[in-house]
Chains A and B, each alone.
Chain A
Amino acid sequence: MTHRTVLSADDVRRALTRIAHEIVERNHGVEEVVLVGLQRGGVWVADALGDVLRGIDAEHPVPIGSLDVSFHRDDVRLRPIVPGSVTDIPVSLDGTTVVLCDDVLFTGRTVRAALEALNEYGRPRAVQLAVIVDRGHRELPIRPDYVGKNLPTARDEDVRATVEGVTIR
C-alpha cells in the first residue's frame, strides 16, 4: 500500500490560519461564532481553529463544542459506535453562528446527520462548514464554506487528515 503525503504539517497549519481569518471576515468578527467539531475526526480541527481565533481576537474567546452523530446517521447499522465519542455543547446555540468542523468532507452524510443532531441544542442563526480536505464524491447537496484543500480522489482511496498532515493511501 502506497502512502502519498498531500499536505505537510506546515501546510495544514497555514490552511487553518487562512480558514480562521476567513471565518472572522465572513462573520464580521467572532462574537457570535461557536465552533463544533464532529466526532471524532473533527474535534482537533475545532480545537486548532479555536487556538488561531484566540490569537486573532483574544477579547472574544470562541466556545468550542463537540458533536457525536453516530445515532443520527442513516447508516447507523453499518458502523460501530466508537467508545468515548461524546457530544459536548457548552452553550445554547440559539442565535449563534455554528461553524461545524471536520477533517475530511466526503459523501456529506456525516454533515447531514450533524445538521439533524444540532437541532436538539437550539436554533443557530446560521450553520457553516469548515473542513481540512474536500475529497469530492458528494451524495447529498452539501458544500463546505471553508476548505483547506480541494483534493480529487478515487472513491476507494483512504484520506487521513491530522495536525501532522494529509495523506492518501
Chain B
Amino acid sequence: MKHLLSVEDLTADDIHRLLELTDHMVEVSSRPIPKVPALRGKNVVSLFFEDSTRTRTSFDTAAKRLSADTMNFAVSSSSVNKGESLRDTIETISAMGVDAFVVRHKSSGAPQMITRWTNACIVNAGDGWHQHPTQALLDCYTIRTNLNRRDGFDGLRIAIVGDIKHSRVARSDVQAFTRLGAHVTLVAPPTLLPPSLDGWPVEVSHDLDSLLADLDVLYLLRVQRERMDDALLPSLEEYSALYGLTPTRAARLAPHALVMHPGPMNRGVEMVVDPSELPGSVILQQVTNGVAVRMAVLFTLLGSGSAASIGESA
C-alpha cells in the first residue's frame, strides 16, 4: 500500500489488517511512555487547505507517537496566498525530503492529483465531498471493539443520518461498513441526499422513528449551517424535529446501540440530547481511536514490510 486515498481501494481484508494493527497501537498508546521508535527519521507533513482541529492534531499525535518528524503547513501563512499553485507547493516541499503528506483539500480528488507530483506517500485526510478514509477506519474500529465484532459486521444494522449529499464521511463510511458486511440505511431529507444513489449498496429512508428500535449503530452527521443559505433546509428546528436525536428518540434505541458522530457536533440540532448522558455514546472514543487508527495507517505506509523496503536493508 503506497497511498491511502479512498476506502474504495481497500478490500475487507485490508480493512481487517489495519484494524488489527490498530489494536497494537491502542496498546502502545496505553503505555506509560506512549511512544515507540518505529518511524524514527521519517518526515510527515500535514497539508491542510481546509480548517480542521481534530483531524490535524490526531494525525500529528499519531506521527509523534511513532517518533516521526512532523511539519505543519499552514495555508494561511504560506506562499499559496502569493498565488503559488498546488503543484508548485507540493514539489517545493517534496524537495526538502518528505516521506508522507497528510492532505486535506476542499476539492475532491486533490490528494489523487498530488500523487503525480511527488514520490511521498499520500494520506487523504478529507477531500471535498469525496472521501475521508481514516474517519471510516476509526468508525469501523469503534464499532468493532464496542460491539465485539472482530470478524466483520455481518447482520449489523447501521443508520447514517443527516447531510449525506455533502458528506465525505458518509461516502467513506458507507463503503467501509458495507464492505465489512453491515446493512446500511441512509436517513435524510430528499434535498440532502445525492441526486443518484446508483451503485450505493444502501437503503434510503426519510423516517428515522420507524428504524430506531432495530438499530445497532446510529450515526449522526453534522448539519452544516451554511446549507441553510442554499435553501436545502427550511429551518434547523424542523430538521431537529424530524432527524435530530431527541430524548424521546434516544429512549427508543436498543440498550446495546451505539451513537456516533464525526464531530464537530451541533448541539440542539442533530444532537438534542446531551451525549454525555447517553449510555450508548462513543463519540469521545471515536476521537481516541482516531489517533490509534492513524498510527496504524502511517505505520503501514511508512514502516511495515512492503516488498520495496524488504529489498533495501537486508
Contacts and interface: CB of A to CB of B under 8 A. Distances in A.
Interface of A: 68, 70-72, 75-81, 83-87, 116-117, 120-121
A14 to B, nearest CB: 35
B20 A83 contact: yes
Interface in B283-314: 299, 303-305, 309-310, 313-314
A87 to B, nearest CB: 6
Given A71-B36, A81-B21, A83-B23, A76 B303 contact: yes
Contacts of A83: 20-21, 23-24
Contacts of B36: 71-72, 117
Which among A83, A84, A117, A121 has the greatest number of chain B C-beta atoms within 10 A? A83
A81 B304 contact: yes
- Interface size range on B against A: 20 to 34
Given A72-B36, A72-B37, A77 B20 contact: no
B82 interface: no
Nearest to A73: B38
B66 interface: yes
Contacts of A80: 304-305
Contacts of A81: 21, 24, 299, 304
B31 interface: yes
B313 A120 contact: no
Interface of B: 20-21, 23-24, 27-28, 31-33, 36-38, 66, 299, 303-305, 309-310, 313-314
A71 B36 CA distance: 6
Contacts of A71: 24, 28, 36-38, 66
B66 A77 contact: no
A80 to B, nearest CB: 6
Contact of A77 (B24, B33, B305): B305
20 contacts: A68-B24, A68-B27, A71-B37, A71-B38, A72-B37, A76-B304, A77-B303, A77-B304, A77-B313, A78-B313, A81-B21, A81-B299, A81-B304, A83-B24, A85-B24, A86-B24, A86-B27, A116-B37, A120-B33, A121-B31
Given A72-B37, A83-B20, A121-B32, A78 B27 contact: no
A78 B308 CA distance: 10
A75 B314 CA distance: 9
Contacts of A117: 36
Contact of A87 (B23, B31, B305): B31
Contact of B310 (A68, A78, A86): A78
A79 B299 CA distance: 12
